[in-house]
Amino acid sequence: MINTLTIRTVINVYDHANELPADEQELLVKAKAACASAYAPYSGFHVGAAILLDDGTIVTGSNQENLAYPSGLCAERTAIYYTGANYAGRIIKKIAVAAYKPAAAQFMPANPCGACRQAMVEYENKQEQQIKIILAGENDKIYVADSIEALLPLQFKAKHLGIVNSPQ
């Protein structure tokens, strides 16, 4: 017998960032600015992330590469782990991600890798509140999902390891 699992993901697409609420526009500007601090001599792909906390604090991060792949770290994980280490107990409300390719002198689509999706959804589960994600896309389009789970619907959870009393 075959069963079917239907997964529905809703992602809102905006033609321009100016269609977003002011706080999300600011977060996207901060994510784009964070691209400038990326260390990406190997890929030439500069990624920035900006996180909005429940008290209005904005935390940024950028990708940090290393010649010994995979020793580097993506912008999303840099930002979210810094937040977890330095703002323990704060609720992450939103995260914006942008990518810039200096060789092309333009912003590129910024879709988090699988490891980043898993790291972000860990914090969403830990805080038991959704984290809205705002992704810069090509041709000024912006992609917005109300939850990281929209990007990782079949996520790995602590219950899969048989861990009891976990935040998930």
Q: One of 24, 65, 76, 122 is an active-site residue; which one?
A: 76
| Inter-CA distances, 73 with 4, 52, 67, Å | 36, 20, 12
128 is catalytic: no
> What CATH number should be reported for the domain whose range is 12-161?
3.40.140.10
Cα angle for residues 75, 29, 88 (degrees, 5° grid): 50
Per-residue pLDDT of the chain (168 residues; tens, 9 = 90+): 999 989 999 999 999 999 999 999 999 999 999 999 999 999 999 999 999 999 999 999 999 999 998 889 999 999 999 999 999 999 999 999 999 999 888 888 889 999 999 999 999 999 999 999 999 998 889 999 999 999 998 887 767 667 766 555
For CA atoms 12, 16, 18, 24, the dihedral sign is positive
